[in-house]
Structure formats: structure tokens, C-alpha cells
Amino acid sequence: MKTLHVNLGPRSYDIHIASGALDTAGEAVKTVCPRAARLFVVTDTNVGPLYAGRVKASLEQAGFAVRVTTLPAGEHTKCVDSLSLLWEDSMSFGLTRTDAVVALGGGVIGDLAGFAAATILRGVDFIQIPTTLLAQVDSSVGGKVAIDLKAGKNLAGAFWQPRLVLMDPDTLNTLPDATLSDGMAEVIKYGCIADRDFFDFLCAHPSRARIMEEIESVLYTCCDIKRSVVEEDERDTGRRMLLNFGHTVGHAFELAGNYEKWTHGQAVAAGMCVAAQLGFGLGVSGGDDSGIRELVELLKAFRLPTRIDCDWNTLVRAVGLDKKSTGDDITMIFLKRMGEAVPVRMKKEDVLRNLEAVFGR
Ligand code: NAD
Ligand code: GLY
């Protein structure tokens, strides 16, 4: 087992990475929630049938009363109706302030159940058991919880740190290839922004099979990078913005595809390529463009797109570069070199001019 400690004073917690962690969840939860009697487990229709039985058995064996609530799989579940259902269901189960919510699933379930935990009885303990690669390396760590509104994604939420993150790498074996690749976009992002050696390691392991041979250390490295960023900037006002490398343009791609054509990971993959090219064009990135070529090859190895054609006006609007968005400046995240990201405050008109060059307009 590998363990990391996220040091946030009274909101500190451990991340456990261990094959078989699902079957020892009960003892682990008991350690961090010694006063809890009831656990309200939230999962989805894909993950529940695969893993909820094992988790429930382990939690019950440790003495907890457990209710499992299963919601439909998919982003549309991250909505106010589901949140309201969880509020009511947890009350009918008799959850009290010393009990806890357990999220068993991908980022959708983690974000939704986390927001429920932040609001039930003005906040109860929360355990993350992430089962997608994206959730294991990103969304389960750092305490951002949210639901989507009609106006956009993640628009209602909170910072609510978990008491424990338990990840079992074996759960990744049941992920479809495309869902694993989505998570790989974020894994590759960590190499780009913070660790050249890790980026090189990924280049030397360019397939699902090769990554899975080293999965515990891949998860550890990614979570360690996220840990250090979150410890420094829990509330996302400074260094945490570096995690947005590839996301500004990526969000535009997601929006242009109505959140259906491109998954988050695919959009981020193509967004990282645009950001890397922009940084190079602007002279922020030193040296030659070999890092960009390596990034493109690595993304392709995981069947991630390196270029997405997007309607120009949508792109401009979504990146916040249109005249209606306030302020003249925008903070972009660029690579100083492969393995080191920097925030760069720029005039929007300069970003636009350089984006035109990248998109060949
Ligand atoms: P997801 O939760 O929808 O999971 C993807 C699919 O995989 C779903 O169909 C799910 O049922 C299925 N699944 C999950 N685990 C499985 C397993 N082990 N075997 C088989 N199928 C499995 O999506 P995601 O990519 O995990 O997360 C995306 C969400 O995360 C988005 O809502 C995004 O906004 C959010 N997110 C949050 C943060 C944060 O910091 N809070 C960061 C990044 C993304
Ligand atoms: N996923 C970006 C963040 O946690 O800040």
C-alpha cells in the first residue's frame, strides 16, 4: 500500500492507494470516523453492480449500518434533483452529524456526493472511494465538490475536503478504454506541468497495459503533485490554477461539442496541444518544439485527440475573449519547459492574435 498525507491543518487527510482497498474499507473508515454509526454510500448504475457489494460488506463487517443509494451513471446525474434526492434519502436513513457520506464511483459521484456531504446537516464527514482514473488522480483529491446548473458545469459547489481517499487500482480494470484514456489526459497533464521525469516515464509506457503494470506509482505521483498544489493553495487563488493547463481552450471544445461530442479528457488533450503551441509561439517556452511533438505522440498513443476543429466564435466566447466578457486580461497557463508550468497574465487581444495563428485563420 502507498499512502500520502494531505496537510491542511484541521482538514488534513490520507490518500491510501492499495490493491484490494475496497475489501478493507471498513477498518480504514473506522479509523477516521470513530464516532460514526451510519454510512450513506452513493454510487452509480455502472459502479454499484461491480463494487458496492464488496464495499458494503466490508463496512458492515466493521460495525457500520450502511445504506447504498444508486443513481444513473452519467454527467446528467450531477444535478440539483440528485442532490435533493440524496438530502431526503440520507434523512430517511437517519444520518446524524457524526455519520458520514461515502462516494463510490467516478468524478460525477464524487462531486455530487461531496456536495451533499457539505450540505447535509450543515456538513458531515465524507469519504472518497474513486473508481475512474480521472477521479483517482484528480477529482477525489482537493475538496472541490459541485453540481452542474443549466447555466454551466460545476456552478454550484463548495470546498469540502474528504476525511479519507481510498483508491483501489484494480477497479480500473473494468473501465472502458475511452474512459481510461480520459484519465490519461490528466495524468499526462501532471507530467507537463510539474515533473519532466514523470513525463519521460509516461513516454516510455505508451499503452494501457504498460501503465497498468506501474499503476500504483502512477497514481502516487499524480496525487503527490496534486497534494502539493492543494496544500499551497486550497482555495484556488494562485498555484492551483496551474492545474488548468489545457483546460481553458479545452472547456471551449467541450462547450462547442455541447458536452456530448468530446469528453473532458479529450477536450483537455487537444487543449494542452493548443496551450503548448501558444506558449511556444509567445516565447514563454524555451528551447525547440520537441516537447510539443513528444506530447502529441503521447496523447495519440492513448487515442486522445491532439486537434479539435471548433467554430471560431464559440472558441472566442468560451475562452472568455469576446467583448462581452469583463476585463482586458486573462491568465493563461503555459509551459516554461516540459515539466514546468507558469501562469501568464495576458491581454485578451494578444491571446486572440496568437490563437488565430495556431488555428491557421
Ligand atoms: P464519471 O463519474 O461519469 O465516470 C465515467 C464513466 O465510468 C461512468 O459511466 C461511470 O459509471 C463509469 N465507471 C466509473 N468507474 C468505473 C469502473 N471502475 N468500471 C467501469 N465503469 C466505471 O466521470 P469521470 O470522468 O470519473 O469524472 C468526470 C467528472 O469529474 C465531471 O463531472 C467533472 O466535472 C468532475 N471533475 C471534478 C474535479 C474536481 O476537482 N472535483 C476534477 C476533475 C473533474
Ligand atoms: N481539477 C482542478 C482542481 O482541483 O483544482
pTM for this predicted structure: 0.97
CA distance 267 to 254: 6
| SS3 of residue 344 by DSSP | strand
Q: Residues 112-157: pLDDT tens digits?
A: 999 999 999 999 999 999 999 999 999 999 999 999 999 888 999 9
CA distance 22 to 25: 5
Asked if 148 and 122 count as a contact pair (C-beta separation under 8 A), the reply is: no
Which pLDDT score is estimated for 281? 87
CA distance 248 to 242: 11
Which residue's alpha carbon is at the smallest distance from atom 2 of ligand 2? 243
> Which are the contacts of 78, defined by CB distance < 8 A and separation ≥ 6?
108, 111, 112, 146, 147, 148
| For the CA of 118, the nearest ligand | 1
CA distance 281 to 185: 23
Q: Compute CA distances 166 → 15, 16, 130, 162, 356, whole Å.
A: 6, 5, 7, 10, 44
CA of 331 to the centre of ligand 2 (A): 16
> Which are the contacts of 200, defined by CB distance < 8 A and separation ≥ 6?
191
Ligand 1 cavity residues, CB under 6 Å: 44, 46-47, 50, 73-75, 78, 105-109, 111, 131-132, 134-135, 138-139, 142, 144, 153-154, 171, 174-175, 179, 182, 264
Q: Identify the segments of the chain with pLDDT beneath 50.
A: none
Which atom of ligand 2 is nearest to 229's Cα?
A: 5
CA distance 29 to 100: 9
CA distance 221 to 296: 21
| For the CA of 190, the nearest ligand | 2
Q: Residues 211-225: pLDDT tens digits?
A: 999 999 999 999 999
Candidate from 108, 133, 136, 226 with most ligand 2 atoms within 8 A of CB, to mutate: 226
CA of 106 to the centre of ligand 1 (A): 3
Asked if 197 and 304 count as a contact pair (C-beta separation under 8 A), the reply is: no
CA distance 325 to 327: 7
Q: Residues 205-260: pLDDT tens digits?
A: 999 999 999 999 999 999 999 999 999 999 999 999 999 999 989 998 998 888 88
Name the residue among 340, 266, 261, 262 with its Cα closest to residue 299.
266
Candidate from 111, 141, 184, 223 with most ligand 1 atoms within 8 A of CB, to mutate: 111
CA distance 115 to 77: 13
- What residue ranges in 160-244 does DSSP mark as E strands? 164-167
Q: How many Å is the Cα radius of gyration of the chain?
A: 20
Asked if 89 and 67 count as a contact pair (C-beta separation under 8 A), the reply is: yes
Question: What percent of the chain is predicted at pLDDT more than 70?
Answer: 99
